[in-house]
Amino acid sequence: MRYVFLLILAFLFTACCGGGKQDEKQAPESSATALPEGHYGKTLNKGKAQNALLLPELLSDKNTAEIKLSGNIQSVCQMTGCWLDMETGNGNYVHVTFENEAFVVPKDIAGKNATIEGVASKELVSVDLLKRQAKSEGKSQEEIDAITKPEVEYFFVATGVVIEDVAHPDL
């Protein structure tokens, strides 16, 4: 079941970022910044967001949670802005995609803070799969052999995103 989940995520990632032609469901690059005050997707509900650094703790006793997080954007899909990675501490991140590929974000927001709302999940990735990923990334045999323990990876399907260029005290 976990492999199926990971394969589906890989397929969605490839489908979203793999081609140069934009899907009709995705906004053109120029309209990605047309919404007011850095809002993308659905308007976020009022209420305080949890710091993304707390995500491992928030999912410690469950696999999924509907939540609002705020944190620093580590990287963004450079093809269309169809995903982003948000820091969760210790060099780790949560991979954020957008519900039903309904919106994209600007490609130049790495390093900025954002608030995201949606469903967070965690997945235990096996040593075998981690080694295959490392091999496909072109890592050395020494790096591949050093992988000896499964790792937890975090995912997030966002319904809305606010890029924190300006203060949003009501989030």
pLDDT of the chain along its 171 residues, tens only? 444 444 444 444 444 555 433 333 344 333 444 455 689 999 888 789 999 999 999 999 999 999 999 999 999 999 999 999 999 998 899 999 999 999 999 999 999 999 999 999 999 999 999 999 888 889 999 999 999 999 999 999 999 999 986 444 455
Q: How many structural domains comprise the chain? A: 1
- The pLDDT, as a whole number, for residue 50 is 96
Evaluate whether residue 102 is within a structural domain: yes
Structural domain including 114 reads 38-163
> Is this structure's pTM higher than 0.95?
no
Cα Dmax for the chain: 50
**Angle at CA of residue 110, ends 162 and 82, nearest 5°:** 65
Evaluate whether residue 90 is within a structural domain: yes
| Distance from C-alpha of 68 to C-alpha of 70, rounded to nearest angstrom | 7
- The pLDDT, as a whole number, for residue 36 is 58
Q: Give 165-170's long-range contacts (Cβ < 8 A, gap of 24+).
A: 165/37, 165/38, 165/112, 166/37, 166/38, 168/37, 168/115, 170/46
- The pLDDT, as a whole number, for residue 91 is 86
Evaluate whether residue 17 is within a structural domain: no
Evaluate whether residue 31 is within a structural domain: no
Which amino acid type is present at position 79? M
Evaluate whether residue 50 is within a structural domain: yes
Evaluate whether residue 30 is within a structural domain: no
Evaluate whether residue 169 is within a structural domain: no
116: phi > 0 → left, psi -120 to 50 → alpha, else beta; which? beta
CATH of the domain at 89: 2.40.50
Contacts of 2 (CB under 8 A, 6+ apart): 123, 124, 125, 126
Evaluate whether residue 147 is within a structural domain: yes
Beta strands, E only, 99-135: 113-125
